[in-house]
Amino acid sequence: MEIILAEPALVRRVEQWGQETNRSAEKILETAVQAYLDELERESIRAETQAFWAMYDDLLKKYPGQHIALYQGKIVAHDKDVSRLEERVRELFGLLPVLIAPVRPQPARDLLWLGGRIDRVETT
């Protein structure tokens, strides 16, 4: 597949960055696109996670003890066997970000990192 970058100002910026950093324009574009796709994936999974918790009570009634696959706020598959579910999701959605989560009666685990350092404790 060939992708053509047709925005002249953007092409100039990529070329300048390439000269400045001694990297090829292709490598700069590859890195930039990968970073952008990673961010889109993180945003998507964050939205799916919020949707999961918003519908959690209903999910617990319909799919207790199962795993659900959530895409664009909709349940697209469910199964007790997470491996089978993951396989079906990959067949249907390829590499698109789909949240797969267990539906179990347990409280949400929200973690907040406030900074600091965790030291390894040596035991003898």
Q: What are the residue boundaries of the structural domains of the chain, listed by start? A: 8-102
- What is the C-alpha to C-alpha distance for residues 29 and 54, in angstroms, rounded to an integer? 37
Q: Would you say 100 and 85 are in contact if contact means Cβ atoms under 8 Å apart? A: yes
pLDDT of the residue at 37: 93
| Interior angle at CA 92, CA 75 and CA 63, nearest 5 | 25
pLDDT digits (tens, 9 = 90+) for 22-52: 999 889 999 999 999 999 999 999 999 999 9
pLDDT at residue 121 tops 90? no
Q: What is the pLDDT of residue 6?
A: 85
Return the pLDDT at 3: 80
Residue 42 or 118, more confident: 42
pLDDT at residue 118 is higher than 70: no
Terminus-to-terminus CA distance in the chain, angstroms? 57
Instruction: Please indicate, yes or no, whether the overall pTM of this predicted structure exceeds 0.85.
Output: no
Q: Is the pLDDT of residue 107 over 80?
A: no
Q: How far apart are CA 73 and CA 48, in angstroms?
A: 6
* Long-range CB contact pairs, 59-65, < 8 A, 24+: 59/103, 60/103, 60/105, 63/103, 64/103, 64/104, 64/105, 65/103, 65/104
Nearest-angstrom CA–CA distance, 23 and 8: 19
* Amino acid sitting at position 100: I
